[in-house]
Amino acid sequence: MEAVFNDFKQALDAENGYALASTISPIAPAHDAGRLYSFYRSSNAFSIQTDVRYAIIYNNDVHLTKAEGNAWLEVFVAYWKAIGEILAAEEVTNQGKNAEVNWNKVYEAWKEMVNALIKGYQSAASFPAWTVPCLYTAGKYLRHFAI
């Protein structure tokens, strides 16, 4: 989880929308192939909200308003759930059981993440304009999972 939030903090400090979008990508970066597994396994369903809240809101390195911090909290909790579904689908696929993969669960989980992101743009948090690449990344993979 630390690697994702370190990149998140750096992207926020630099106001780099593309780097920020890479933190919510369902594809691990080439330099850190195990990122999705480590992110997902760094927490559990009972403590994910607390872990993300600490990393985003209570961490003094991240300078966000309370509303924006809470909006990112929702996005990353939904992202964590979506990554869990993606990893489960990949494991079943790697076992050669393609017929048993439930891509509908992956799509629904990713759609929840996209909706949390959209809610962040529509709410009082109103993410800055430089974060728009996050919408592109989220929409791109929503389309991918739908197909």
Condensed to tens digits (0 to 9), the pLDDT of residues 121-131 reads 998 667 888 99
Q: Which of 22-26, 62-66, 96-100, 132-136 has the lowest mean pLDDT?
A: 96-100
Q: Are 35 and 3 in contact (CB under 8 A)?
A: yes
Global pTM reads 0.92
At residue 60, the pLDDT reads 65
- Contact assessment for residue 77 and residue 48, using Cβ atoms and an 8 Å cutoff: yes
Q: Which domain holds residue 18?
A: 2-146
Using an 8 Å Cβ cutoff, are 64 and 57 in contact? yes
Contacts of 146 (CB under 8 A, 6+ apart): 107
pLDDT value, residue 125: 66
How high does pLDDT run on average in the chain?
90
Instruction: State how many domains the chain has.
Output: 1
Q: Which of the four pLDDT bands, split at 50, 70 and 90, describes residue 138?
A: very high
pLDDT tens column, 6-18: 999 999 999 999 9
In the predicted model, is pLDDT for residue 105 greater than 70? Answer: yes
Taking only the tens place, the pLDDT of each residue in 48-80 is 999 999 999 887 677 888 889 899 999 999 999
